[in-house]
Chain A
Amino acid sequence: MGKTLTEKIFAAHLRDQPTEDNMILDLDVVMCHEITTPIAIMDLMEKGMDKVFDTTKIKAVIDHVTPAKDSKTAMQGKIMRDWARRHNIKDFFDIGDNGVCHALFPEKGFVRPGYTVIMGDSHTCTHGAFGAFAAGVGTTDLEVGIYKGVCSFRVPKTIRVNITGTLQPRVTAKDIILAIIGKISVNGATDKILEFVGPVVDSLSMAGRMTLCNMAVEAGATCGVCMPDRTTALYLWPFISAQYPSLEAAVDDFRRWHSDPDAVYDRTLEVDVSELAPQCTFAYKPDQVKSISELAGTPVDQVYIGSCTNGRIEDLRDAATILQGRKLAPGVRGIVTPATPLIYRMALEEGIIATFLAAGFCVLNPTCGACLGMSCGVLAPGEVCASTTNRNFNGRMGKGGMVHLMSPFSAAATAVSGVITDPRDINN
């Protein structure tokens, strides 16, 4: 019987199998940020277990609230800093070098095909885009990961999502994943892996694949994965070139992780994107999704472009094509947060930051910020935000606020119109 990509990764990392349904995996990377890690650190200290299993396998960042907004967030940052120093954790990213974890860590080449990754953050599934098994966990799992380098999982089944057809202009990976979540619901993939395959996935950039995998958790999935290929190898080449005689050799090597043709799936979901329109959420669950034209005309108070879902350079470029030569509609507040310092610099060099500024946007430093209502753009009760983020839960971006999730193209079209707008209705 053949194996799926994740089954191959499990077999290569299996430390223990306490029951048929449970597995304890060795971890290649344990990622940490300042919201869920400080409590783990303090608990380990209290219990006399303040150790890290391997300093080179811990990657840490301050990203959720940065720079600190108050004494409490300053304390969270300090606990992280002191801990990183104490354990000589080299890959620790603080102010000036920091960015949204799921954009920053891939950029640094920390995730490779076949890896096992955990983080105390539900959007860790993003890293499955590299052909890795990456899962969000709670603080106790994080503690054990930091201390022992292992994590327990229920053995997941896999849903194969075969994405075919041709995307229309200004329809993106964000629209694909919103449509999939709308189809299978917020628990349609609970305890399962979403394996994204097919010609559309093959032609997506790593940024697009990361957007796809990022929101797998919004359907309940443990992880979203893509097969590692030439696109993956090209992205990682600066970090792996010493390991392989040629790019082709890397691509060949990655193939060993690919799902076998006779692998067993829970089911296969066929998604043809040829007719897919830009998507947008309504109400308070990410599976409450419609074509954006059905929500067209809904007034918004704020437009937010950023996050681990859509704060990458490709996303800012998409938005800039619409913002170029235009201004925010009167009364609309625009916020953009490039997800990492590298993305910020690229956007600066490409003139994209100038485009955002000329349109009237507030340009923030890289941070998670308003996505989860912690800082930098929290909504007032009754306010509406068009957002490129990943969750529209009640209260997510501020108590009493309403979030409509959409792509960067759609958010930019909405920004210049003042009402939710299909980006294909903006000429140029």
Chain B
Amino acid sequence: MKQFGGPAILLDRSDINTDEIIPAKYLTEITKTALKPHLLEDLLLDGKPFGPSAETLAKTRVVITRANFGCGSSREHAVWVFEVNDINVIVAESFARIFRQNMFNCGILAVELDKSQIDALFAMKGNVSIAIDLAGDRLTATSDSPGQAAVECSFTLNPFDKKLVAAGGWLTYADSAY
């Protein structure tokens, strides 16, 4: 099974949509890797373009965000663009249905936490890193900032989604089950 977790970036906005995650003009690509440079290209945070450095993005393995992440289009490109950037965990208060299902269908994690837990992650000082214990349904956030205590959260994954992650995705699962 994949290893999940690592350095995180925080996107402090609700309703981040699939056009912001990967604009439709890149949907003409027929390989997933071609999407890689265009991650979150049209995202606005506080009305301003979101622009982390290439170095920051390159070491990011986790995204932490607010409610209704991935709303809009059904394009799985919005999941693949994270996948090809080695981001295999998205932690949010809630997800749009199709986006969430696309994550688990690809065998990667869409973790939902309560608003208070998400608030606690956003309140952390310094650079945040996330460790995921899938067997224990626990998420641990640590920071490189001296004095910043770790934040521990428990989460619930739908048992079927867990099976998809264990199988490496829905196609493999369905091929053997149906």
Binds B, one of A32-40, A97-105, A244-252: A32-40
Per-residue CB contact flags for chain B residues 149-175 toward chain A (1 = under 8 Å, else 0) read 000000000111001000001110011
Q: B47 CB to closest chain A CB, in angstroms? A: 10
Report yes or no: B74 in contact with A220, Cβ–Cβ below 8 A: no
For B27, the chain A residues whose CB sits under 8 A away are 35-36, 64, 374
B102 touches A138 (CB 8 A): yes
Check B23–A399 contact: CB distance below 8 A: yes
Distance between Cα atoms of A399 and B44 in the complex (Å): 12
Check B171–A72 contact: CB distance below 8 A. Answer: no
Q: Which of A110-143 contact B (CB under 8 A)?
A: 120-122, 124, 136-141, 143
A222 contacts B by Cβ under 8 Å: yes
Smallest beta-carbon distance B162→chain A, Å: 10
Q: Which of B23, B30, B102 contacts A39 (CB 8 A)?
A: B30
Cross-chain contact B19 with A16 (CB below 8 angstroms): no
Question: In the complex, which range does the number of interface residues on chain B fall in?
Answer: 35 or more
**When A136-B98, A187-B67 are in contact, do A394 and B44 touch as well, CB less than 8 Å?**
yes
Q: Closest CB-CB distance, B101 to chain A, in whole Å? A: 7
A310 at the interface (CB under 8 A from B): no
Q: Is B25 a contact of A191 with CB atoms below 8 Å?
A: no
Shortest beta-carbon distance, A192 to chain B, in Å?
9
B177/A16 in contact, CB under 8 A: yes
B98/A137 in contact, CB under 8 A: yes
- Known pairs A49-B175, A143-B171; A391 contacts B72 (CB<8 A): yes
**A18 within 8 Å of B by Cβ?**
yes
- Taking the closest CB of chain B, its distance from the CB of A361, in whole angstroms, is 24
- Asked if A144 is an interface residue, CB under 8 A from chain B, the answer is yes
Task: For A152, list chain B residues within 8 Å (CB).
Answer: 101, 160, 170
Shortest A214–chain B CB gap in Å is: 14
**A138 touches which of B30, B71, B75, B177 (Cβ 8 Å):** B75
Which B residues are CB-close (under 8 A) to A16? 177-178
**Among B15, B68, B98, B163, residue most surrounded by chain A Cβ atoms (within 10 Å):** B98
Shortest distance in angstroms between A200's beta carbon and chain B's nearest beta carbon? 27
Q: Which of A22, A24, A65 contacts B28 (CB 8 A)?
A: A65
Interface residues of B in 4-45 (CB under 8 A from A): 15, 17, 19-20, 23-25, 27-30, 32, 42, 44
CB neighbours of B19 from chain A (8 A) = 372, 391, 393-396
Most chain B CB within a 10 A radius of its CB, from A42, A75, A285, A395: A395
Which B-chain residue is minimally distant from A79 (CB atoms)? Answer: B30
Residues of chain A with a CB closer than 8 A to B30's CB: 38-39, 42, 72, 75-76, 79
Residues of chain A lying within 8 A (CB to CB) of residue B72: 122, 391, 393
Q: How far is the CA of A39 from the CA of B29 in the complex (A)?
A: 9
Nearest CB of chain B from residue A250's CB, rounded to whole Å:
32
Is B17 touching A190 in the complex (CB atoms < 8 A)? no
A395 to B75, CA, bound (A): 16
The reply to whether the CB of B73 lies closer than 8 angstroms to some CB of chain A is: yes
A347-394 contacts to B, CB under 8 A, are 372-374, 391, 393-394
Contact of B106 with A by CB under 8 A:
yes
> Across the interface, which residues of B come within 8 angstroms of A49, CB to CB?
171, 175
Instruction: Give the Cβ gap from B20 to chain A, nearest Cβ, in Å.
Output: 6
Chain B residues within CB distance 8 Å of chain A: 15, 17, 19-20, 23-25, 27-30, 32, 42, 44, 67-68, 71-76, 79, 94, 96-98, 101-102, 105-106, 158-160, 163, 169-171, 174-175, 177-178
Taking A18-B160, A120-B74, A154-B97 as known contacts, 4 extra A-B pairs with beta carbons closer than 8 A to each other, sorted by chain A number, are A19-B160, A76-B28, A140-B106, A372-B24
- Between-chain CB contacts (< 8 Å), 20 pairs: A18-B159, A18-B163, A19-B159, A22-B160, A76-B30, A122-B74, A124-B74, A138-B75, A140-B105, A144-B170, A144-B171, A144-B174, A147-B174, A190-B68, A190-B96, A220-B71, A372-B73, A393-B17, A394-B19, A395-B20
